[in-house]
Structures are given as C-alpha cells and as structure tokens.
Amino acid sequence: MPELPEVETVRRHLAERIEGDVIRDVEVRLPRIVRRPALNLFAERLKEQGIRRVGRRGKYLLFELDRVLLVSHLRMEGRYAVADPSEPELPHTHVVFRLASGRELRYADVRQFGTMDAVLEGEPLPKGLAELGPEPFDPALCGAVLHHRWRGRRAPIKSLLLDQRQIAGLGNIYVDEALFAAGIHPLTPAGVVGADALDGLLREIRDVLARAIREGGSSVRSFRDGYGRHGGFQIQLAVYGRAGEPCPRCGGAIQKIKVAGRGTHVCPACQPISVAAPIGTGVNA
C-alpha cells in the first residue's frame, strides 16, 4: 500500500498538472470505487467544479474543489494519470474525469480496493479520514506526547505506529526503517519506551519520510508517480525487504518476523528488545 511519501509524491505531481482546471464530466466504470454519495449524485456533484488544490492527509488524497471535497484513497494499487483523450488508457482504468483543458484525469486500480467520496461542506468526513491522528511532521507531536498517550500500553510499538489513529501516513516500509534507525525492536511494548527515546524515534521517522519524498517514494512492488515513473528510495532501504542480508550497521543477518500479522524486518543485534515479548504475537492490548 502506498504510504505517506508515495501519496505525497502523487499529490505534488497532480497539483502541478491539474490545479486550476475544471471537471466537466465524470465517468465511473466500477461503481464500488465510489462510497458516497449515490453513483448518479457523485458525478453531478463534481461537474463544473474547479480544482482549487490537491492536498493530502495521511494516505488520503484530498481534491479541494469549489464546493466539494473529493476524498481518494489509493489502497493497494490505485494510480492516477493525466493524459490526452487520444492516449491509450492504462489497464483497469475505472474512473475518468474529463477536464476543461481537454485532458483527462484517469484512475486505474488493478486490485479495485481504492475508494472515492465526494463530500459537501457540512457533511461528515469519511470515517477513516475523520479518525486520523497527527501528521508525522506536526511540530506539536513530540516524545512527551507519545509517552503520555502510550503509558502502560503493552502493544508492540510497531503496532501503534501502524495505527493511523496514532500517527497518520505511516506503513510497513517506513516504520521498519525508522525503528531500525532508532535502534528500537518492533516488538518492544510501547509503554516502556521513554520520552527521550520517542523523540529520537520521531526524528528518524521524519528523516526517513523526508528522504523518501525527495526520491519520489519507494517502488518495492508496483508504485508509480503521477507521471508514471518508479520511485527511487527502494535502493536506500536499510532493512525492509532485506531478510537474510547483512545489516548495514553491524553485518549481522537481518531477520523477518511477524508483528500483529505484518511481515517485519529487524536486526536483532542493533535493535535489542527492551522487555521480552513472544516473537510473532503482536499483542493488541
């Protein structure tokens, strides 16, 4: 699933190309992509709406229109492309926005898990979006805040970092990378990590996210940006996807374990667990 750096990369490229344009018509070919309103109302809400800004919140793309907020979640493999009508469509193109400029904004999704909501001012935001925690770069987010919030929690720290209600936008790749950089084992109970260590973890989270954004995200599977290009950060990954390879810090073998059902990459030597917890349990306390 695209994480914050990948979604931010798509956002920037779409902003360059479609901000200031106007949606003339919408063709939805796969109705289940649209969650609300009803399909006929979805298209009507978006017609003749100017695209004021393309924003992002966590892993959501937010198309801020004249009177409507179009909320889009790419899920596993959703992908946007801006193209001339004469250009061949990508396979599995499910939604086409025809623009006043003569171009088309096309949404393709092989797995068909992506979602769209067209929200009028005053209507409640989609549930997942409404429940998001702070952005990782929020200056008000610090180790003391997390320490207070997680006090007494027995859940593995990775489980909480993946919880979008705690911090928005993080996923499997960048949580593994940040925990390695901070020297924290993913199974360490969140409640035993001190405020200073959490400050250090936040610094590593922000660093890895900023570096990934500069490189256009990570294409570990099928991610492409708004121009159809692969990301470049995958060649800089220290532990993710490198099970059995030598740790770049100590030379020991990187292990792959399970935390809350998610494949997790860790160097046991560089990331000693603070309090024993059964490997693979992913306690959800």
Residues catalogued as catalytic: 2-3, 59, 262
CB atoms within 10 A of CB 56: 19
Distance CA 69, CA 64 (A): 5
In a 3-state reduction of DSSP, which class is residue 191? helix
Q: In what order do the strands lie in the sheet with 68-73?
A: 34-36, 115-120, 68-73, 60-65, 49-57, 22-28, 93-99, 104-109, 78-83
For β-strands 34-36 and 115-120, DSSP reports them as: parallel
Based on the number of CB atoms within 10 Å of its own CB, is 67 exposed (0-12), middle (13-18) or buried (19 or more)?
exposed
Based on the number of CB atoms within 10 Å of its own CB, is 221 exposed (0-12), middle (13-18) or buried (19 or more)?
exposed
Residue of 51, 76, 170, 62 lying closest to 116 (CA atoms)? 62
Residue found by looking up tokens 């109970």 in the block: 189
Structure token pair of residue 240: 């993710």
Measure the CA angle with vertex 280, ends 241 and 155; round to 5°: 105
All residues at 6 or more sequence positions from 64 whose CB lies less than 8 Å from its CB, including other chains: 51, 52, 53, 54, 55
Q: Rounded to a whole number, what is the distance in angstroms from the first to the last CA of the chain?
A: 25
